[in-house]
Chain A
Amino acid sequence: MIELGSVTVRRGGVPVLRGIGLVVGTGESVGIVGPNGAGKTTLLRLLATLIAPSTGEAKILGAQVGTTAVDAIRSRISLVGHEPALYPELTLAENLEHLCRLSGADPALGRINLDKTGLGAVADRRADRCSNGMRRRADLARVMTTDPDLLLLDEAHAGLDRDARAVIDHVVATTLSGGGAVVVVSHEADALGDLTDRIIPLAAGRLG
């Protein structure tokens, strides 16, 4: 699923990740823990194929990162960050339908998954008129529509209530049972709960 060999990533000439080696297989859930500025978000974006390594080799779902081969596998990856990926002027349902249409999924799945995440009653409310918690949940509903092979979570449980955390746990369990892999990053190990099988520390761009 994930094969990183001596990967270095520089942003603006500054090395953010240094000599990263990581292998994550099918059905595995890995936690990466490190302080602010350790390079956690950059690592997740690398795993999502959104940035290419400056040196070293990165293979995600069999595709070499930094080549056009990633075009074919990107729709099998889901990334959930601190900020929900929603257009403020569109309703929650419109946001999900929009992303479903672009990913080739059934647009009806958007509304179905909003119902599953407890947002059925506010599905037609504009995203910028929803609370942050609602938007975070809608972001999880977005992930559920994609049914990813690789799920990447940035500070998965931060700022979420118990019900929303249960949704995340469900999404993680579904991904793993479907033969996928999960990587969760956090600044503290306690926040990862039971989400991961193993935890790897990350400090100053190096995996420990």
Chain B
Amino acid sequence: MTGFWSEVVTVVRRDVIAEWRRGEIATVVLPFALVALMVFPLAIGVDLPLLTRIGPATFWAIVLLFGMQIGLRQTTTETTVMRDALALTGSDPVARHVGRTLSATALLVGFAAVLYPAMLVFYAPDVPVRWPVMVGLVLLYVVGLGQLITLAAQVTIGVGGRNTLAPLIVAPLAIPLVVGASQALESVGRGGSILSWTLLVTAVDLALVVTGIVVARPLEEASR
């Protein structure tokens, strides 16, 4: 493994161990997300056609809103002292950014994997169970979201009110992801092509990868 990927793996391992021990996603974020997912069916009642229609979009929106909490929680332990120590390891800021992004993505995948079956139960969306397509869509969506959240968390480090500011940055930029993923899922239900919507989400993912790599170092330097 090269130095770059070794650093990436080191960061991912730290983030996953830290989150496992904090247990905040499992005990705080996930239960609230499940409650939020249940609110619409409870409010609407047994209107199956409506629930079927709004199910996929509600799922993506809830992954987006609660996913932001996951990304922000990850960076709360990175105090100025810790960030200084990391910089003085001489490791590559891009590798650390990629590592944080991958760990955020991995946590989001786990989070979405629990929410998705719940959405199928609560909303009974008119979507044929084509798991490879579903898994692919969820992955494409959370890869983009993980990058967006990591970037927003980095931009707002040390800024007062970052818990408000970060979602304000992420939400508008995540619109193409939410629209693309929702429309793709709906197309699956109609038996139509998902190519154009999948391409949209993939293009956003790639744009975010390039942006993250380009801005990782300047962002880190500017955050001190």
In Å, the complex CA distance between A143 and B210 comes to 35
Closest to B21 in A: A89
Chain A 70-114 near chain B by CB (<8 Å), digits 1 or 0:
011111111101011111111000100011011110000000000
- CB-CB under 8 A from A200, the residues of chain B are none
Determine whether A125 belongs to the interface, using a CB cutoff of 8 Å to chain B.
no
Contact of B90 among A50, A74, A85 (CB under 8 A): A74
Determine whether A45 belongs to the interface, using a CB cutoff of 8 Å to chain B.
yes
In Å, the complex CA distance between A42 and B5 comes to 33
Interface size on B, residues (CB 8 A): 26
Contact of B89 among A72, A94, A99 (CB under 8 A): A99
Q: Are B224 and A51 in contact (CB under 8 A)?
A: yes
Known contacts A94-B17, A104-B3: does B22 contact A89 (CB below 8 Å)?
A: yes
Q: Are A79 and B84 in contact (CB under 8 A)?
A: yes
- Tell me the chain B residues, 68-94 only, with Cβ under 8 Å from chain A: 77, 79, 81-82, 84-91
- CB-CB under 8 A from A71, the residues of chain B are 90
Q: Are A78 and B88 in contact (CB under 8 A)?
A: yes
Determine whether B205 belongs to the interface, using a CB cutoff of 8 Å to chain A.
no
Chain B 128-152 near chain A by CB (<8 Å), digits 1 or 0:
0000000000000000000000000
Q: Are A89 and B18 in contact (CB under 8 A)?
A: yes
Q: Tell me whether chain A's interface is mostly helix, strand or loop, or mixed.
A: mixed
- CB-CB under 8 A from A73, the residues of chain B are 90
Closest to A95 in B: B14
Q: Are A50 and B18 in contact (CB under 8 A)?
A: no
- CB-CB under 8 A from A77, the residues of chain B are 88
Q: Are B88 and A101 in contact (CB under 8 A)?
A: no
Contact of A101 among B10, B17, B21 (CB under 8 A): B10
Interface size on A, residues (CB 8 A): 33
**Other contacts beyond A86-B82, A89-B18, A94-B17: 15, CB < 8 A:** A51-B224, A73-B90, A75-B90, A78-B88, A79-B84, A79-B85, A87-B18, A89-B22, A89-B77, A90-B14, A90-B17, A99-B86, A99-B89, A102-B10, A103-B89
**Chain A to chain B contacts (Cβ below 8 Å), 14 pairs:** A45-B224, A50-B224, A68-B217, A72-B90, A74-B90, A75-B90, A81-B81, A89-B21, A98-B10, A98-B13, A98-B14, A99-B86, A102-B10, A102-B96
Q: Which B residues form the contact surface with A (CB < 8 A)? A: 3, 6-7, 10-11, 13-14, 17-18, 21-22, 77, 79, 81-82, 84-91, 96, 217, 224
Q: Which A residues form the contact surface with B (CB < 8 A)? A: 45, 48, 50-51, 68, 71-79, 81, 83-90, 94, 98-99, 101-104, 126, 142, 146
